[in-house]
Every structure is written in C-alpha cells, then in structure tokens.
Amino acid sequence: MGTGSTLGLIQHKLASARSVTVLTGAGISADSGVPTFRGTGGLWRNFRAEDLATPEAFTRDPRLVWEWYNWRRELIATKRPNPAHEAVAQMEQRFERFWLITQNVDGLHRDAGSRKLSEIHGNIWMVRCTQCRHVTENRDVPIAILPLCSGCNGLLRPHIVWFGESLAEDDLETSATALQSSDLCLIIGTSGLVYPAASFGSIAKQAGAFVVEINLDATAQSGIVDAALQGRAKDIVPLLLQA
C-alpha cells in the first residue's frame, strides 16, 4: 500500500473512531528541538543520564542531580509545542472518548492544550517532597539548588520516574483502561524499546483496536501495527485530521 493510500486509510479510521488512544515518545518532541538526553550526544559533564537519573545518585549527590535537571529545564524552557502536539490536543477536543499516554517529561503536550493525559514518566516541571511526598508545579528557571518544600522544608526532587523505580499504579491502570477500550491507537515517535510502553500497542491490538505507527524509521513494533507512516510527527500527525 502506498503512502497516500495508507494516509487515506488512517484518516478514514480516525474520522469514524469512537474511542482514540495516543501514545507518544521522544520523536514528537524532537521536532520541537528537545534533545533526548540519552545515547549519542547525551553526555553532560561526562555523566550519562543513566548515571544521574536514579534514586541512588540523588541520595549520593542531590546537588549534582539537581544541577543536571536545572540544565535540562533551561533547555526545555526555550522550546514550544509543534504542529504534532497541537494536532493531538485537537483530537482531544474532537473525540469524547480520548486519552493521551506520553513517555515525555517536557510538558509540551500540556503547553499545547492536552488535558486528558497520563505522563507516565513524570513531568520535569513538577517537584515532589522527599519527606511529605507533596507534588507541586515549579517553573523556576533557574531553580534554587537545593530546592526545599514550602510545607515541611524537606528536600525536593524532580517528579520523574527514575531508572530502577516503578511507574505509578494509577497511571498504568488508566493507560490500560484507555488502550483496552479504544478502537484506534496512534503510536507516535517512540522506538518501542522501553517497557511497559513498548507493550501498549499489543495491548490495544489484542483488544481490537486499529493500531497506527508514526515514526521516522521502522521500529521493534512495526511488525504488529495495522498501518505505518514514516516521517516527522510534525508533518504527518496534522494530516490525520484533514479527512
């Protein structure tokens, strides 16, 4: 099936869908200029993300970890949602039964207007007290290091799911419910390598959804989807709404 025919099929499926679930990964934010902070080019002061985004690293040297997150926040603060983020937000308005699951922590989906969403890896603009566990928004750039809780004066940490930590149960339950009840699932800009998100396409497909992948290249999930389009999310996702 050619690209044009595939696009037409997906547009038709989306236009007739009753329940839509969208899963996004780093690829959608890459189009806004957000770096992945992992892999090639992801070093900061000779540290890898895997060396800093852990509870052990924070316990050992919270100042170093916060300096890294402040650097990331300063970079992300200059970025804006792109047409793909905006198209996903429009889908939320168009479908009564809609849910967005994002692996991204940059907050760009919220900036674009998305409200029905699970940020399963957390949000870099949210902080959590290590003592009272209270979660609040903090948009300070730069952020005070070390930041303290206004309620109990405990040390704050980024509200991020770090390596070695489990995803929040309520996020997993909400995501599973959305995937199992959707008749169309869009997987946008994710490699399909990070679990549990890598299993979400299979969950939706087993529940009867039409599963679509949009990515620059084929991924580990390409073999299980019903349709795939290769290219930049900012270019392709807005076309889906032009049925």
Q: Which of 12, 85, 109, 121 is catalytic?
A: 121
Type and span of the H or E element at 122: strand 122-129
Angstrom distance (rounded) from CA 101 to CA 234? 18
User: What is the spatial distance between Cα 117 and Cα 101, in angstroms, rounded to a whole number?
Assistant: 6
Structure-token pair, residue 49: 């993300």
CA 102 – CA 26 distance, rounded (Å): 9
| Contact criterion met (CB below 8 Å) for 175 and 86 | no
| Sequence-separated (6 or more) residues with CB below 8 Å from residue 202 | 224
Q: How far apart are CA 193 and CA 176, in angstroms?
A: 18
SS3 182: coil
Per-position DSSP letters for 81-109, written without gaps between them = --HHHHHHHHHHHH-SEEEEEE---S-HH
Nearest to 105 by CA among 177, 40, 167, 187: 167
Catalytic, 159? Answer no
List the catalytic residues.
121
